[in-house]
């Protein structure tokens, strides 16, 4: 299953550059945590200050379980605190949330093949 989410960055070229450096090689504990909870692949794209994340997750992935485990993991909490220096919620993000799941509008796979 694919999950797509959005988040914004602080509008600062210096902070955006730092954020990108942090993501060239994330902490091993963070990568292990993601994989341990059924995240098979993750990519983050940027346009200006808007981030777009694509996650491929296993059938066993449970967002509530993942959130609970993330909140209980001190490495993840340190990483999230560090990242929050660079990140901002989008205008559509509910209070207290960070990454917000996007609604899929279109899939070519859902379209009929040409006759």
Q: Per-residue pLDDT tens, the chain, 115 aa: give them.
A: 999 999 999 999 999 999 999 999 999 999 999 999 999 999 999 999 999 999 999 999 999 999 999 999 999 999 999 999 999 999 999 999 999 999 999 999 999 998 7
Q: Are 44 and 23 in contact (CB under 8 A)?
A: yes
User: What pLDDT score does 33 carry?
Assistant: 98
Residue of 34, 113, 42 whose CA lies nearest to 79: 34
Look at residue 65 and tell me if it is in a domain.
yes
User: What pLDDT score does 114 carry?
Assistant: 85
* Three-state SS sequence of 90-110: CCCCCCCCCCEECCCCCCHHH
Look at residue 97 and tell me if it is in a domain.
yes
Q: Given the structure tokens 């993501």, which residue do they identify?
A: 23
Look at residue 113 and tell me if it is in a domain.
no
Look at residue 32 and tell me if it is in a domain.
yes
What's the total number of domains in the chain? 1
pTM of the entire predicted model? 0.91
User: What pLDDT score does 79 carry?
Assistant: 98
Q: How far apart are CA 15 and CA 74, in angstroms?
A: 24
User: What pLDDT score does 115 carry?
Assistant: 77
Q: Are 57 and 39 in contact (CB under 8 A)?
A: yes
Look at residue 28 and tell me if it is in a domain.
yes
Q: In Å, how far are 32, 80, 86 from 48, measured between CA atoms?
A: 29, 21, 13
Domain with 87 in it: what CATH number?
A: 3.30.70.1090
Q: In terms of residue numbers, what domain contains 57? A: 2-104
């Amino acid at each position: 299953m694919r999950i797509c989410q959005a988040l914004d960055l602080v509008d600062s070229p210096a902070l955006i550059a730092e954020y990108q450096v942090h993501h060239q090689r994330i902490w091993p504990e963070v990568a292990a945590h993601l994989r341990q909870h059924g995240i098979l692949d993750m990519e983050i794209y940027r346009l200006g200050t808007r981030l777009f994340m694509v996650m491929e997750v296993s059938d066993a992935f449970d967002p509530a379980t993942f959130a609970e485990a993330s909140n209980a993991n001190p490495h993840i909490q340190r990483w999230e605190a560090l990242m929050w220096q660079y990140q901002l919620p989008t205008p559509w993000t509910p209070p207290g949330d960070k990454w917000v799941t996007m609604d899929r509008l279109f899939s070519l796979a859902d379209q009929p093949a040409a006759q």
